[in-house]
Structure 1
Amino acid sequence: MSPHTKAQLQIHFCVLLWGFTAIVGKLITLAALPLVWWRMLIAAGALAVLPRVWHACRRMSPRLVAGYAFVGVALALHWLTFYASVKLANASVAATCMGLAPAFLALIEPVIMRRPFDLRELALGIAVIPGVALVAGGLPDAMFEGLVVGIVSAFFVAIYGVVNKRLVDASDPLAITALELATGVVVLGLAMPFVASTGEAFAVPGAADAFWLTVLALVLTVLPLTLSLVAMRHISAFGVQLATNLEPVYVVLIAMVLFGEHHELTWQFYAGLAVILGAVLAYPLIKRAE
């Protein structure tokens, strides 16, 4: 098996796991900010007990640490807006908004990676925009705010993906993940008293929330984040993000079964989802034809 094929399989396994994050986020009763803070704290704490992580972190230059810290802030903002979208709309809408990330990536990645713009990537990124427009037209008015926040989340995940791609080869994947998560814990912890609603700052989860937060942090965060960093060494950030666009399919199907979300959405939403999925399937076919 070639490294590229292996990396593709790893990414799709990560996407399957990520497909459950919106579902678990809906099951957790905490608001978006404490939810993300606890998620990052538990995950960072689990990685902090590994000597391998500490050894790798000590070998990092200050400039490299600053780069990973920047990525950690982008990741924290992505998760914060993603779960806010889940709370304001639903899991299907929040996941579908991630389909805009390739449009952002097609513009951002060439600048940061210092490579020419790829017209095919631009075209495929633009192709998802009508899909998101259809999604917006298929939403009740009460969910529109969640859609807007979800689009902001797609921008942050594009920033996260492209900068991570630039720095991924410079250190150990577990150490990178730990440092990024720890940065998110610090930044969100400092911000929480100022932006959280009364009584929500550093909210202590109940037993059920604590269980789902542990699943979210360990099974759906540490494992796929680390594995995706390994895969990124053989796939472009744009290719990774297009594969990630399969996440809405998993989320929508699961949400249909568990929450009956299909009753809240119209045919336009699913037509838009089909357009986004079409772009996902078109990308590997085009790359194979090169």
Structure 2
Amino acid sequence: MKKAFTQLHIAVFLAGFTAILGKLIGLNEGLLVWYRLLLTVLALVVILFIRKQLVRLSMQDMLQVFGVGGIIAFHWVTFYGSVKYANVSVAVVCLAASGFFTAFLEPIIFKRRIKPVEIILGLLAIIGIYIIFDFHPQYKLGIIFGIFAALGSSLFPIFNKKLINRFTPSILTLYEMIGGLIVLSILIPVYLYFFPATYFLPTLADWWWLIVLALLCTVLCFDLQLNALKKISPFTSNLAYNLEPVYGIILGFIFFKENKALHTQFYLGVALIIIAVALQTALVISSHRKKKA
């Protein structure tokens, strides 16, 4: 069990580290995600081929999974756009808005009643983001990207819930990455028209960080989480991932000294978001205990 917890928290740390890599890689965010998807697909194909776990999906299933892959690509592009047009700390804080979107979208998609308490907690996180937005106008574009990244972050697990029981996680991830790569390949010329790139081929340093991003922060992160889930419940895993923004902020402070560029209002906004996340976590724990009783 101790090993499983260690694997889980390494996976959460690697997820938080992706924002740092987004800052270190000089590529335009659209191209960055395109190369990340390409390298991840190649790595997964090799791994699954060696393990003899490669399977073919039907055309109907493939289109459904590809659609979710498109959402992942959208989330990654907007997230790295937030990192580049604001900074790491602002980008990871904006992801807290995903709770607000989930509170509305999940009941609509699964046709269940909207819970007022989830809306209130989501609004608390939105107020925290607004405070940051109001006092840091230089991050306006980055925060807008961050809000869209939160929307993508909320949609991805909702639609994945419908697929996870039908396919193995490794196959699902592979086809989602392929779908994201195809969707982004089609849309990237339009994206680059509105958000031009200064260069198109990764530099030597970019290649190094892209390999780290694809192999460590995508493939290894995914593998560690799956291994941890053999001993730890999805419930515990989801709670652990609440630490991802915390890791991201701390790493942003360490690597880029972002604390020197942030005002007191940033911390006030973060405090409101942490309160919202803490209350949501407490509600989930309480609900989980009642179901076990």
Q: In structure 2, what is the Cα distance between the partners aligned to 1:33 and 1:255?
A: 21
Q: What residue number does 1:178 align with?
A: 174
Q: Residues 277 and 53 of structure 1: is their aligned pair in 2 closer, same or farther, counting only changes over 3 Å?
A: farther
Q: What residue number does 1:214 align with?
A: 211
Q: In structure 2, what is the Cα distance between the partners aligned to 1:285 and 1:215?
A: 35
Q: What residue number does 2:29 align with?
A: 32
Q: What residue number does 1:95 align with?
A: 92
User: Which moves more between the two structures, 271-280 or 47-56?
Assistant: 47-56
| Equivalent residue for 1:118, pick from 115, 118, 140 | 115
Q: In structure 2, what is the Cα distance between the partners aligned to 1:84 and 1:210?
A: 19
| Equivalent residue for 1:283, pick from 273, 280, 284 | 280
Q: Residues 57 and 260 of structure 1: is their aligned pair in 2 closer, same or farther, counting only changes over 3 Å?
A: same
1:201 Cα deviation (Å)? 9.4
**Contact 1:23-1:91 within 8 A present in 2 as well:** yes
1:158-187: per-residue Cα shift (whole Å, max 9, x none)? Answer: 111211122111111111111111111112
SS at match of 2:182: helix
Q: In structure 2, what is the Cα distance between the partners aligned to 1:28 and 1:145?
A: 19
Q: What residue number does 1:144 align with?
A: 140
1:220 Cα deviation (Å)? 0.6
- For residues 124-203 of structure 1, the aligned pairs below 5 Å read 124-139=121-136, 141-196=137-192, 200=197, 203=200
Q: What residue number does 2:19 align with?
A: 22
TM-score, normalized by length of structure 2?
Answer: 0.85
SS at match of 2:165: helix
**Contact 2:45-2:54 within 8 A present in 1 as well:** no
TM-score, normalized by length of structure 1?
Answer: 0.86
1:32 Cα deviation (Å)? 0.5
| Identical columns (%) | 36
1:164-215: per-residue Cα shift (whole Å, max 9, x none)? Answer: 1221111111111111111111121222234325984992212111010001
**Contact 1:135-1:272 within 8 A present in 2 as well:** yes
User: Please, what is the CA RMSD of the aligned residues?
Assistant: 2.8
Q: In structure 2, what is the Cα distance between the partners aligned to 1:152 and 1:289?
A: 30
**Contact 2:28-2:198 within 8 A present in 1 as well:** no
Q: Residues 244 and 24 of structure 1: is their aligned pair in 2 closer, same or farther, counting only changes over 3 Å?
A: same
- For residues 71-86 of structure 1, the aligned pairs below 5 Å read 71-86=68-83
Q: In structure 1, what is the Cα distance between the partners aligned to 2:284 and 2:86?
A: 35
1:18 Cα deviation (Å)? 1.2
1:234 Cα deviation (Å)? 5.3
**Contact 1:138-1:267 within 8 A present in 2 as well:** no
Matched, 1:68 2:52: no
**Contact 2:83-2:91 within 8 A present in 1 as well:** yes
| Equivalent residue for 2:256, pick from 255, 259, 268 | 259
**Contact 1:34-1:201 within 8 A present in 2 as well:** no
SS at match of 2:23: helix
Q: In structure 2, what is the Cα distance between the partners aligned to 1:74 and 1:201?
A: 26
Q: Could you tell me which runs of 5 or more consecutive residues in structure 2 were left unpaired when the two chains were aligned.
A: 288-293
Q: Residues 97 and 105 of structure 1: is their aligned pair in 2 closer, same or farther, counting only changes over 3 Å?
A: same
User: Which moves more between the two structures, 122-131 or 76-85?
Assistant: 122-131
1:20-72: per-residue Cα shift (whole Å, max 9, x none)? Answer: 011011001111111000001000110112238875542x3433222211110
Q: What residue number does 1:47 align with?
A: 44
SS at match of 1:71: helix
**Contact 2:125-2:272 within 8 A present in 1 as well:** yes
Q: Residues 132 and 199 of structure 1: is their aligned pair in 2 closer, same or farther, counting only changes over 3 Å?
A: closer
SS at match of 1:168: coil
1:261 Cα deviation (Å)? 0.8
Number of residues of Structure 1 aligned to a counterpart in Structure 2: 280
Structure 1 letter corresponding to 2:246: V
